[in-house]
């Protein structure tokens, strides 16, 4: 059976001349959630960008199974979905198109009907065909979240995912996280809120 663990080995990160963290190690197994905590400026976002393959560590390596994430067949987009501070939507595409086009990157296209259903679930019914440039920041955040939830990646990396979400959508996200863990998915999350999740949850504190 293929090794589906996600590992950080002796990671270090720097910002300018300042070392944010070093000698950071963890192993995440299917069905587990890791909450990264720490004060502002401790390197939480830097760590998540390294884990997502968007930035390189000053030292150390990140592994998907036995492979460095840079060497994963199909690229990092085939094994993980990342929700950062930026929503990364294409302004000229509709909400639905932003979701379905992103699904093709990792080789598993998102069905348009599934996209429409998720948009309705998060309170964007009636906005499906509106170009993203006309959406509010809160609406854009919900589209980015819907895109991630429908991509069917084994690992979700979520940087402050509750930001700009109302109570209804926060509950959708919470239920989706629990469902993902139940299906042997893995999650790494930063949030200033308590993670009220039934599951195998762990904490990594920076600083």
Encode pLDDT of 157-177 as tens digits.
Answer: 999 998 888 999 999 999 999
For residue 4, give the CATH number of its domain. Answer: 3.40.50.300
pLDDT of residue 71 exceeding 90, the answer is no
Is residue 4 domain-shared with residue 74, that is, in the same domain? Answer: yes
In a domain, 84, yes or no: no
Q: Is the dihedral of CA 43, 9, 198, 149 positive or negative?
A: positive
Domain that holds residue 141: 89-152
Rounded distance between C-alpha atoms, residue 50 and residue 26, angstroms: 14
* pLDDT tens-digit series, residues 124-133: 999 999 999 9
Is residue 4 domain-shared with residue 18, that is, in the same domain? Answer: yes
Stated pTM of the model: 0.91
Rounded distance between C-alpha atoms, residue 8 and residue 131, angstroms: 38
The pLDDT of residue 198: 84
């Amino acid at each position: 059976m293929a090794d589906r663990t996600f590992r950080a080995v002796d990671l270090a990160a720097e910002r300018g001349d300042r070392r944010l963290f070093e000698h950071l190690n963890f192993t995440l197994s299917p069905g587990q959630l890791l909450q990264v905590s720490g004060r502002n400026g401790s390197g939480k976002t830097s760590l998540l960008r390294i884990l997502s393959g968007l930035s390189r560590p000053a030292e150390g390596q990140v592994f998907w199974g036995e492979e460095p994430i840079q060497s994963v067949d199909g690229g990092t987009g085939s094994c993980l979905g990342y929700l950062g501070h930026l929503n990364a939507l294409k302004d000229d595409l509709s909400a639905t198109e932003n979701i379905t086009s992103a699904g093709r990157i990792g080789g598993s296209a998102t069905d348009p009907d599934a996209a429409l259903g998720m948009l309705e679930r998060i309170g964007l019914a009636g906005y499906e065909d509106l170009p993203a440039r006309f959406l509010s920041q809160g609406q854009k955040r919900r589209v980015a979240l819907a895109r991630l939830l429908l991509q069917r990646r084994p690992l979700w990396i979520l940087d402050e995912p509750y930001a700009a979400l109302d109570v209804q959508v926060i509950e959708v996200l919470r239920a989706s996280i629990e469902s993902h863990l139940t299906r042997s998915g893995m999650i790494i999350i930063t949030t200033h809120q308590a993670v009220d999740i039934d599951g195998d949850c762990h904490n990594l504190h920076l600083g």
